[in-house]
Amino acid sequence: MNRIILHCDLDCFYASIEIRDNPELLGKPVIIGADPKEGKGRGVVLTCSYEAREFGLHSGMPISQAYQRCPHGIYLRPHFEKYSKASKRVMQIIKKYSDKFQQVGIDESYIDVSNICFNYDEVTQLAEQIRRDIQDNVGVNLSVGCSFTKSLAKISSGIAKPNGISILKPENFKEKLKNLDITRIPGIGKKSKIHYYKKGIKKIGDIIAIPPHKMFEKFGKYGKWVWNIVNGFDNRKVKEFSKGRKSVSTERTFFTDTNNFNVIFSRIEDLNERLHDLVIRKHITYKTITLKIRFEGFETFTRSKTLPFPIQDKKKVIDIALKLYDEFSNKRKKIRLVGIKLSNLEKNLKVKQTNLISYIKA
């Protein structure tokens, strides 16, 4: 199967944070940027809600022009510290789902989930889970695009907006792209599109249909690059695992809260398998195993066990996780989320599996 890459893009991020903190703003045209000073202000729009975009407002527009188009809008000055804090939390959540993570700006990131999802049904479930996780924990909406290249995943997230999921598969991506305006392609904006329009290229399908050497003749190296993107030729990788990382973890929220032990145990096994796909591939050992449990009502607990030596043994992790889980057996609440974290990591090309004696000592 081809690579599976997700592009995660927060919807109207700054405006969404302000609406989250001031629910009375929901459904209203909210504009973040300079003070419009009743149409005489200087500066630009940083971002705006979808309700404001219906009046033609967009990022980078002069604030005076925005006021002329939408004088009844709610104009707010930015609170960058608040946005930065929310962004860090969002990225922490997304990063949990894959070791191949790359942040792009304050509101976008890529993750490669090729080793986690084995078909596109699983991709949809995972994307929905990430969106719910961010909505539950940060209170903002996320659009997720999926495809087999980074550039197509980014185009796909644009299709998904607002607050949706879109997938461009190898077998149908050209059909889905052909009628879209070329401004959907990263790097082609409202000004640069004029150059393409003049030469008869208005839809992505126009680029797909033209031979690559013709694109090079018309637009040079950049034209060839654009042709490669829309035809699925983009081998750029999502940033790999960092050697300086202190832990690896993954967690999953149940579709409905549950106290069914078989369901909970199955999820713990699944999380453990996925973590060990990573640590085995990266030759990583660990000393500390942490179990995370979140009950209905968002009451969250963690329990950890640190071993005297580094290991790489998924059976041992399961045994420890079950013992840690026993500490919660007296609680009568249903469980909303389970997670596993492996920490005190070491890079070791000659990983030693635990033997019987060390297993008993632990």
pLDDT (tens digit per residue) in 119-155? 888 899 999 999 999 999 999 999 999 999 999 999 9
Tokens of 79: 């609170």
Q: Identify the band that residue 243 occupies on the pLDDT scale cut at 50, 70 and 90.
A: low
**Maximum Cα–Cα distance across the chain:** 78
Is the Cβ–Cβ distance between 144 and 160 less than 8 Å?
A: yes
CATH number belonging to domain 172-235: 1.10.150.20
Region of 36 (left: φ > 0; alpha: ψ -120 to 50; beta: rest) is alpha
308 versus 9: the higher-pLDDT residue is 9
Catalytic annotation, residues: 108
Task: Give the number of other Cβ atoms within 10 Å of residue 331's Cβ.
Answer: 13
Confidence class for position 239, pLDDT limits 50, 70, 90: confident
Q: What angle do CA 115, 118, 123 make, to 5 degrees?
A: 95
pLDDT of 256 reads 79
CATH topology of domain 14-79: MutS, DNA mismatch repair protein, domain I (3.40.1170)
Classify domain 247-361 at the CATH superfamily level. Answer: DNA polymerase, Y-family, little finger domain (3.30.1490.100)
Hey, what long-range contacts does 126-135 have (CB within 8 A, 24 or more apart)?
126/6, 126/97, 127/6, 127/165, 128/165, 129/252, 129/253, 130/6, 130/8, 130/93, 130/94, 130/97, 131/163, 131/165, 132/253, 133/93, 133/253, 134/90, 134/93, 134/94
- pLDDT digit string, tens, across residues 255-314: 678 888 888 988 899 888 888 888 887 788 999 999 999 888 778 899 999 988 889 998
The two tokens of residue 209 are 């249909």
Are the CB atoms for 347 and 297 separated by under 8 Å? no
How is the chain split into domains, by residue range?
14-79, 172-235, 247-361
